[in-house]
């Protein structure tokens, strides 16, 4: 708006990425059982990122707790935020995973524990993690079931976003506001609290999920193409099929739609990966939760069938879904695969398939 250069703080203080990397590493190790990766890279990444959080937490003596201040959360329109809910919860997850991993290695893999102890001083780090875990502030739902995105967000003024949401282009908001002004409005660039609820679905009730969707979705501009990914998957989980499919089509059309100028500066590679995620995770209903594979199909009304393959614990599974059936075939066939579906455990025998009528 002013024509002056603006410093983009995400490259300096968007530190949730540290825990995000650990999250991806942990998901990969649980999905693949790749023990070599765990020994050579994964275990150390999870523990060393937790060591970072031990150093990053700030003690607030006035309220007797650890906090994380001056960050950019996933919502990059809120710079210098204090206690961004996503960041705090991800840091807590990272610390907990590291503590549990240290305990597991000490009991089951003493040689690996000794190696990492020499590099990272696990004997001293473990009690430090435990102490911080118990005192780290985790923003929780308020009386209206809304999780505050950060300490200030719910106190900020609101504006009518409709003119910018219907402008048909990214960044229309900045025709009228600069980034410093947006920083002090209830405007969210992309999924933030919604992303937290999606990744940690077992930690929050259906009521909390729905209330936060109703609060944050109208306040989100989706000026990042990645926002459509999370909103598609989350809407599908909530049973909002029409809304989920609308977001899916918007994401699909960024590089493959009628407006081919959207790719003039390059394709949206992460968003393209997101289209796969929307298809398989959102509508296919695939989740990796606590080391378990869950498949709960949730096809949009416009689709008759969805087929895809995925690998789980070294086994290649071919999945075919309709609105009435779920068929899973174990193609690799070197071990039985166990999945969760409709609240029950289902075994997929070697070189065989299971057909479930829903």
Annotation says 76 is catalytic: yes
Single out the residue of 104, 119, 129 nearest to residue 51, CA to CA: 129
CA distances (Å), 291 to each of 4, 102, 231, in order? 49, 17, 24
Using the 8-state DSSP alphabet, how is residue 267 labeled?
Answer: -
Torsion angles phi and psi, residue 12, rounded to 5: -110, -40
Nearest Cα to 189, choosing from 144, 223, 145? Answer: 223
DSSP 27-40: HHHHHH--HHHIII
> Residue 19 burial (CB < 10 Å; 0-12/13-18/19+)?
buried
Tokens 């003690």 sit on residue: 59
Q: How far apart are CA 3 and CA 62, in angstroms?
A: 42
> Which two tokens mark 4?
């002056």
Of 14, 26, 76, 149, catalytic: 76
d(CA 66, CA 134): 9
- Catalytic residue numbers read 76
């Amino acid at each position: 708006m002013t024509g002056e250069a603006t410093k983009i703080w995400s490259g300096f203080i968007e530190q949730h990425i540290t825990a995000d990397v650990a999250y991806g590493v942990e998901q990969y190790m649980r999905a693949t059982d790749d023990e070599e990766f765990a020994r050579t890279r994964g275990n150390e990444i999870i523990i060393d990122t937790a060591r970072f959080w031990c150093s990053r937490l700030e003690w607030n003596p006035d309220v007797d707790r650890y906090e994380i201040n001056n960050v950019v959360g996933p919502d990059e329109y809120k710079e210098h935020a204090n206690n961004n809910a996503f960041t705090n919860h991800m840091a807590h997850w990272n610390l907990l995973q590291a503590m549990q991993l240290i305990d597991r290695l000490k009991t089951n893999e003493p040689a690996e524990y000794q190696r990492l102890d020499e590099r990272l001083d696990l004997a001293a780090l473990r009690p430090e993690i435990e102490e911080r875990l118990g005192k780290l502030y985790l923003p929780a739902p308020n009386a209206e079931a809304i999780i505050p995105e950060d300490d200030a967000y719910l106190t900020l003024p609101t504006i009518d976003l409709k003119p910018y949401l219907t402008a048909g282009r990214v960044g229309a908001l900045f025709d009228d506001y600069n980034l410093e002004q947006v920083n002090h409005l209830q405007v969210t660039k992309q999924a933030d609290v919604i992303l937290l609820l999606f990744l940690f679905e077992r930690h929050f009730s259906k009521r909390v999920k729905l209330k936060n969707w109703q609060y944050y979705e109208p306040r989100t501009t989706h000026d990042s193409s990645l926002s459509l990914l999370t909103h598609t998957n989350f809407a599908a989980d909530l049973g909002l099929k029409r809304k989920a499919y609308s977001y899916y089509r918007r994401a699909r059309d960024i590089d493959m739609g009628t407006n081919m100028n959207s790719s003039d500066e390059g394709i949206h590679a992460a968003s393209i990966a997101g289209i796969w995620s929307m298809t398989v995770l959102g509508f296919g209903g695939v989740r990796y939760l606590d080391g378990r594979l869950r498949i709960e199909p949730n096809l949009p009304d416009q689709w008759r069938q969805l087929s895809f393959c995925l690998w789980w614990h070294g086994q290649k599974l071919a999945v075919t879904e309709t609105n009435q059936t779920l068929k899973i075939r174990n193609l690799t066939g070197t071990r039985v695969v166990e999945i969760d579906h409709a609240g029950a455990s289902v075994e997929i025998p070697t070189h065989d398939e299971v057909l479930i009528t829903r």
